[in-house]
Every structure is written in structure tokens, then in C-alpha cells.
A and B are shown apart, each in its own frame.
Chain A
């Protein structure tokens, strides 16, 4: 029943995108400068039907309609309601449907709210966007149909992967997808701008809010994903340089480069081709990311669903997309003369782009190189955190310094500014005070500390100035402030983290230099859809004599049969105490891992502050329009 509805809604959506392309092409020939009502109507209709198809799948999950194979494979009738709902986008098919919903939503929003009085540009954007919608719909209907039927109808479903049954992971995919798919609109707009030869300034104005919007959601999506990895995977880390994490970082780096260079395009009308290329690349990278995750050619902690035929489709689509973009670019792009004064604001934005693209290339090479090596020579290598830390960390230092100094310079002019000012000396004093406490000896870490403090203090200083005169770019100040804090707290966290591994029996005690750990008790019982084993530990801090009780868990799920290890985290304002336990096979011993992780909450908060700058940027635009 529901399945038929779903397929019908999807078919109507496909039909509307076909019609929208047809009507828009026809409209291009007329002299009239207004987009006709029927295009708006079809766009609304398209949005309504795609949302209906999504709601149909959602309903299937909520009522546990196991006649649909997707519900059967990813849900179970005893699962809590929240995870039945999030199960809708927990699978490949469901998340692809969500992906299409967002594509349609953005197409709709662009048509209705980005009124820029350039009909040709607007129509071409809708055409390209609907090409994307149509292609993904074909993929969905013929390869990954979430509404496929199953006969005979099973009584019970297989259940959702337990580590996905988590509130943070319920909202992580929607956030990330708004970021990923949001970039489609400036991909379409960039191609449209080339063909319709739109005025540079207008193009910059039109794409700017969309770049900020997708950047904001991408940042939040990455944040929620990291928070999830931190408490759910039970390793005490929050970023593993895992290929799947990398594929969410790559578009983010490009978006960051893009909204900096859009500023140059808007103010100086320079970098037009570069902005176009970045717009195209960002969405391409999003699709590359999807390809890497969905095709299963990666070995990652996050690969949950994969199938080679999907990979093949996405790869074919990717190749077509890249080649047609290249064709359009070279056919329509005009030569421009870009010149920049040394030490002008636009010069520093170029430097920003230089670093962002470098970071992107490092992540891209690190992610793809093992795949190429494996395919070409059959040699398997791993590229992990040591590689990224070694290559990237030294470049953070000049980046932080440039983020501090760049904004001080003016547009066009080449006037030099004082760089090592009072703020820098205050920062140095703060650094020395911190060094006195933490006694860090690594040069790179120390330099990173100095320059992250400098950026933070300088941003505070700018913030103070912003109150006195209104001319300062507040969203820049907030985002740079957040980034300074982020790097600062990550460094401090890196220096002060403690990790201890040991084996204990129930009733045993472990005496460490700063802590005394007692394994007091163990309990086991059945909850909802899993069996749990809970350890009871008491941790005594020998210095301040504070006692903490922590209860790490081992969970054994039956649908599907998996074991997960739940960390017990005591999070106070400044520091997290993180305890995990796991059974050692053939013995009554448990392997215990105690980690002290300072400033974790500050790391999350910094990313949140960083993202706020993006929101401010959107609102600023809306107010101006």
C-alpha cells in the first residue's frame, strides 16, 4: 500500500522536474522578462510531492510496514520511536531520498527567494538543478528504491545498526546533507552564470547567502558527527582522519575558500573564474564524498551500507558532471585580468584560498592514494592520523597568523600595517604563563599555542572595536575567534590528556600515580532490545580527593547481533573523565581504559562559535536585500 503511494509520488516528482526543464527551455526563447506563474506552480508541486514521498517512507518506518524491504532491513518493531524515525535516513536508500528532498527544497527556495531580476540566469539555474534532481531520481527509482516490496511479508524486521541508534546520529545526516546538497545550488548557479553571462556582482550577491547557509550546516553536521564519535565509538577521540570524516571535511574546506573569495568578487569584481571553479568543485567534492562512502571502496569505521553497483552509478554520474562542467566552463568563460596589490585585503583572501586548497589536496591525496596504489599495484597501505598531523600541523601556524593579520589590511591599497603590536605581546605573556603550567616541549605545539592565542585576543580586540564603530565585519570576527579558540583548546587537550590501560577483576583496585580506581561491582540485565553488562567503578583523584562513580557498559544487541562498548563519561566544566571497559576473552578480567580529557566542552563550544559567524552572514544578506 504505502509502497505504491511512495513510487507514485516519486514518479510525479520526476515528471515535474522533466516539465520544469522543458518549460524553462521554452521560456528562454520568449522576450518577456518575467518568469511565468506556471514555473513557480510546478516548482511548488515538485516540493509537495517529494515531501509526500519522504513522509510515506517515514510512515512506513513508524508503523513498521515490513512489506517494504527497506523497512524490513533497517527497522524492528521494538525499536524506540525516535530511532524508527531516524531509521528513515539511516539506510542508503532513505538517505538518498532525503538528499533528493533537499535538492528540491533548494531549487524551490532559490526560485522563490533569490529574485535577482535576471530571468535567463534564474531559468538556467533551475534547469541545471532539475537535471541533478532528475538524475538522482532515476538512480533512486532504478537502483536504490526505498519502496521496493518484499514477498512474503516478514513478521519482524532486522533492526538498525545499534551504533546508529543515538540521538546525535539521528540529526547528523540531515545537517550534513543540507551542507552537502546545499552546495548544489551554487553549482547550478555557476553553470547558469557562465551561459547567461550574468553580471559578476550579481552572481556574487546571489550565491553568497547559499554558500554561508551550506557552510553553516556543514560545520554543524561535522560537529555533531564528532560529538557522536567521541561518546559512542568509545575511543576518547573526536577526529580520526577517517576517510568518511575526510569526505565531509573536503567540501567544507572548499566552502570556506569560496565564501572568502566571493567577498573579493563582490567588492573587487575579481576572481570570477576562480569563484565559478570553486562553486563547481564544492558540489563535485560532495558527490565524490558520497561515492566514497556509498561504494564501499573505503575501509572505515563509518561504512555502514555499501554496494558496488551504486558506486558505479555515482562514478558515471560524477564523470558526466565533471566533463559537462568543464565543457561549459571552457565554452563560455571569458578571459579576465586579475591583478592584486601585495598586502591588500584581496591578497590575503587569495592566501586563504591557497591554504584551504592545500589542506583540501592533502586530505584528498591522503584519502585517495591508498585506493590508487591498491588498484594499480595491489599494494595496501594505510594513511592515518600520523600522516595528516605531520603534513598539516606546521601549516596551521602561518594560517593562524594570517587569519589574525589579514583582516587588518584594506581593500585595493597596499599600505603596510603594524603586525607585532601590543596584542601580540599580551598574547605572548599569556602563552608564557600557560607554558609555565603545562611545560610542553614540542616546538610545533608551542608555536600553534602562541598564534592561536594571538588570533583569539586579536578577535576580542576587534570585537571591542566593533562596539565603538559599526564598520567591522562581525561575522568574520566571530568565526575567526571560534577558530582561534578551537585550535587553542585542541592543543591544550592534546597536551594534557591522560590515557591509562590496564586489566582488572571485579573487586580489584588499580593504583595509578594520580588516581585510585576500584572495580566495585558488575550487573547484567535486559533492556528494550539489548542485554547490558554494567561495571561500577569508583575513581579517586588523589590530589583533590574527589570521588567519582563511573558505569561503563557492554551492550549485546540481538537485532542485529552486535556488541557495542558504551563509554561512561563524567563531564564537568573543565575536564572529562572517560572510562571504557571490554571483556578479555577466556578470562574473568576486564580491560579498562581510563582517559582524562580536559576542555572537551570548550572544543565543542568553539566549533559552535565558529559556525555562528556563518549564520550572521546569512542574516546580514537578508537585511540588505
Chain B
């Protein structure tokens, strides 16, 4: 009975989990760095530069550009520095994959430490 309940809940959650719709403009602006500020996002910044980028993003959305196309447009113009989410390029492979690789290494170490149960202890 409990198992059925458990499985059906997870199933319910899974089915429900279609990609959540968010305000596209907000989402894009939050992923952009305000280049003239100190580490602020475009969405948080009050600078003139941010105002300009905001209207550029509005304009692009108005012209039916997709999210990725807008990022591409801005990074072509200002470099990847403007994107808070570093794109998956060759030079960023280490950034994206090293953490998982190290996590797996850690897991292997723990596996070996806890496997040798029967060997005499110190």
C-alpha cells in the first residue's frame, strides 16, 4: 500500500514536471552581466548601459528571437563575459565536467574504504 502511494506520488510529480514557464525577459536579463558594474546582473542594474541592453532584449523578443539566439547575439557583440551561464565550448569543458569527474573519484575512494569490512582494523 505504502509503495503504491510512493510510486504514484513520484509519478504525479514527474508528469507534472513539464518545463515551467517563466517571464522570458526577466530570465534573460538575470543571466546577463552588467559590463560596467561590479558583478551585477542586467536585471538588477540601474546603469545607462543596462537600460540600453534591456531595450535591446525587448526589441529582440519583439522580433521573435529565441532565448539562445539573444544570448548568441549579445555574446558575439560583447564577448562571453556578458553571459553568467558560461557556454559549453571547448575551453569551458573543464569548468563543466571537472566537478562531476572529481565527485566520481571521491565516490570510488569511499567505496574502497568501506568495502574492506572484514580486514582487521588498526
Binding-face segment, A14-22, A130-138, A385-393, A457-465 = A385-393
Specify which chain A residues have a CB less than 8 angstroms from the CB of B44 in the assembled complex. 233-237
Check B33–A384 contact: CB distance below 8 A: yes
Tell me if B26 is interfacial: C-beta within 8 Å of chain A. Answer: yes
Specify which chain B residues have a CB less than 8 angstroms from the CB of A450 in the assembled complex. 13
Check A382–B119 contact: CB distance below 8 A: no
Closest chain-A Cβ to B28's Cβ sits at a distance in Å of 11
Check B106–A357 contact: CB distance below 8 A: yes
Tell me if A428 is interfacial: C-beta within 8 Å of chain B. Answer: yes
1/0 per position for B13-31, CB-CB distance to A under 8 A? 1101111100000100011
Specify which chain A residues have a CB less than 8 angstroms from the CB of B41 in the assembled complex. 235, 384
Q: From known contacts A235-B40, A235-B44, A584-B51, infer whether A337 and B121 are also in contact, taking CB-CB under 8 Å.
A: yes
Check A440–B20 contact: CB distance below 8 A: yes
Check A300–B113 contact: CB distance below 8 A: no
Q: A236 — nearest CB in chain B belongs to which residue?
A: B44
Check B94–A301 contact: CB distance below 8 A: no
Check A339–B113 contact: CB distance below 8 A: yes
Q: Count the A residues whose beta carbon is within 8 Å of the partner chain — how many?
A: 67
Check B38–A358 contact: CB distance below 8 A: no
Give Cα A582 to B51, complex, Å.
11
Check B18–A341 contact: CB distance below 8 A: no
User: Which of the residues B2, B14, B26, B91 comes within 8 Å of A377, measured between beta carbons?
Assistant: B91
Identify which of residues 550-569 in chain A touch chain B, using a CB-to-CB cut-off of 8 Å: 565
Specify which chain B residues have a CB less than 8 angstroms from the CB of A361 in the assembled complex. 98-99, 102-103
Check B38–A300 contact: CB distance below 8 A: yes
Q: A357 — nearest CB in chain B belongs to which residue?
A: B106
Check A441–B20 contact: CB distance below 8 A: yes
Give Cα A425 to B5, complex, Å.
9
Specify which chain B residues have a CB less than 8 angstroms from the CB of A379 in the assembled complex. 80, 91
Specify which chain B residues have a CB less than 8 angstroms from the CB of A524 in the assembled complex. none
Specify which chain B residues have a CB less than 8 angstroms from the CB of A357 in the assembled complex. 106
Give Cα A501 to B18, complex, Å.
27
Check B99–A358 contact: CB distance below 8 A: yes
Q: B6 — nearest CB in chain A belongs to which residue?
A: A420
Check B95–A441 contact: CB distance below 8 A: no
Give Cα A617 to B16, complex, Å.
43
Check B98–A240 contact: CB distance below 8 A: no
Tell me if A340 is interfacial: C-beta within 8 Å of chain B. Answer: yes
Give Cα A362 to B30, complex, Å.
21
Check B46–A582 contact: CB distance below 8 A: yes
Binding-face segment, A365-373, A402-410, A541-549 = A365-373
User: Which of the residues B5, B40, B102 comes within 8 Å of A301, measured between beta carbons?
Assistant: B40
Q: A366 — nearest CB in chain B belongs to which residue?
A: B95
User: Which of the residues A337, A350, A366, A382 comes within 8 Å of B33, measured between beta carbons?
Assistant: A382
Closest chain-B Cβ to A351's Cβ sits at a distance in Å of 7
Tell me if A442 is interfacial: C-beta within 8 Å of chain B. Answer: yes
Closest chain-A Cβ to B59's Cβ sits at a distance in Å of 16
Q: B95 — nearest CB in chain A belongs to which residue?
A: A369
Identify which of residues 398-433 in chain A touch chain B, using a CB-to-CB cut-off of 8 Å: 414, 420, 425, 428, 432
Specify which chain B residues have a CB less than 8 angstroms from the CB of A337 in the assembled complex. 119, 121-122
Check B113–A358 contact: CB distance below 8 A: no
Identify which of residues 335-357 in chain A touch chain B, using a CB-to-CB cut-off of 8 Å: 336-342, 347, 350-351, 354, 357
Identify which of residues 232-267 in chain A touch chain B, using a CB-to-CB cut-off of 8 Å: 233-237, 240, 242-243
Tell me if A383 is interfacial: C-beta within 8 Å of chain B. Answer: yes
Closest chain-A Cβ to B61's Cβ sits at a distance in Å of 14
Give Cα A338 to B110, complex, Å.
10
Check B40–A441 contact: CB distance below 8 A: no
Q: B22 — nearest CB in chain A belongs to which residue?
A: A442
Closest chain-A Cβ to B92's Cβ sits at a distance in Å of 7
Check B92–A441 contact: CB distance below 8 A: no
Give Cα A501 to B30, complex, Å.
13
Closest chain-A Cβ to B89's Cβ sits at a distance in Å of 9
1/0 per position for A200-244, CB-CB distance to B under 8 A? 000000000000000000000000000000000111110010110
Check A303–B85 contact: CB distance below 8 A: no
Give Cα A437 to B41, complex, Å.
31
Q: From known contacts A300-B38, A441-B16, infer whether A340 and B9 are also in contact, taking CB-CB under 8 Å.
A: no
Tell me if A591 is interfacial: C-beta within 8 Å of chain B. Answer: yes
Q: A386 — nearest CB in chain B belongs to which residue?
A: B85
Q: Which among B82, B99, B113 has the greatest number of chain A C-beta atoms within 10 A? A: B99
Give Cα A300 to B33, complex, Å.
11
Check B13–A447 contact: CB distance below 8 A: yes
Q: A351 — nearest CB in chain B belongs to which residue?
A: B110
Give Cα A300 to B39, complex, Å.
5
User: Which of the residues B16, B46, B116 comes within 8 Å of A339, measured between beta carbons?
Assistant: B116
Check A443–B13 contact: CB distance below 8 A: yes
Check A339–B119 contact: CB distance below 8 A: yes
1/0 per position for B37-53, CB-CB distance to A under 8 A? 11111011010100100
Specify which chain B residues have a CB less than 8 angstroms from the CB of A425 in the assembled complex. 2, 5
Tell me if A512 is interfacial: C-beta within 8 Å of chain B. Answer: no
Closest chain-B Cβ to A333's Cβ sits at a distance in Å of 14
Give Cα A166 to B111, complex, Å.
49
Tell me if A380 is interfacial: C-beta within 8 Å of chain B. Answer: yes
Closest chain-B Cβ to A320's Cβ sits at a distance in Å of 26
Tell me if B79 is interfacial: C-beta within 8 Å of chain A. Answer: yes
Give Cα A227 to B44, complex, Å.
17
Specify which chain B residues have a CB less than 8 angstroms from the CB of A240 in the assembled complex. 39
Closest chain-B Cβ to A619's Cβ sits at a distance in Å of 32
Give Cα A270 to B82, complex, Å.
48
Check B116–A358 contact: CB distance below 8 A: no
Check A384–B85 contact: CB distance below 8 A: yes
Closest chain-A Cβ to B30's Cβ sits at a distance in Å of 8
Identify which of residues 33-89 in chain B touch chain A, using a CB-to-CB cut-off of 8 Å: 33, 37-41, 43-44, 46, 48, 51, 79-86
* Residues of chain B having any CB pair with chain A under 8 Å: 2, 5-6, 9, 13-14, 16-20, 26, 30-31, 33, 37-41, 43-44, 46, 48, 51, 79-86, 91-92, 94-96, 98-99, 102-103, 106-107, 110, 113-117, 119, 121-122
Given A350-B110, A382-B81, output 15 extra A-B contacts at Cβ < 8 Å: A269-B122, A301-B37, A341-B114, A350-B114, A354-B110, A381-B80, A381-B81, A382-B82, A382-B84, A383-B86, A384-B33, A386-B31, A428-B6, A442-B20, A443-B14
In order of increasing CB-CB distance, the 9 nearest A-B pairs are A384-B84, A386-B85, A582-B46, A443-B17, A235-B44, A380-B81, A441-B20, A340-B114, A301-B39
A-B contact pairs, 15 of them (CB 8 A): A233-B44, A300-B38, A301-B39, A301-B40, A338-B122, A350-B110, A354-B103, A357-B106, A365-B99, A369-B92, A369-B94, A382-B81, A382-B83, A428-B9, A501-B43
* Residues of chain A having any CB pair with chain B under 8 Å: 233-237, 240, 242-243, 269-270, 299-303, 336-342, 347, 350-351, 354, 357-358, 361-362, 365-366, 369, 373, 377, 379-387, 390-391, 414, 420, 425, 428, 432, 435, 440-443, 446-447, 450, 499, 501, 565, 582-585, 591
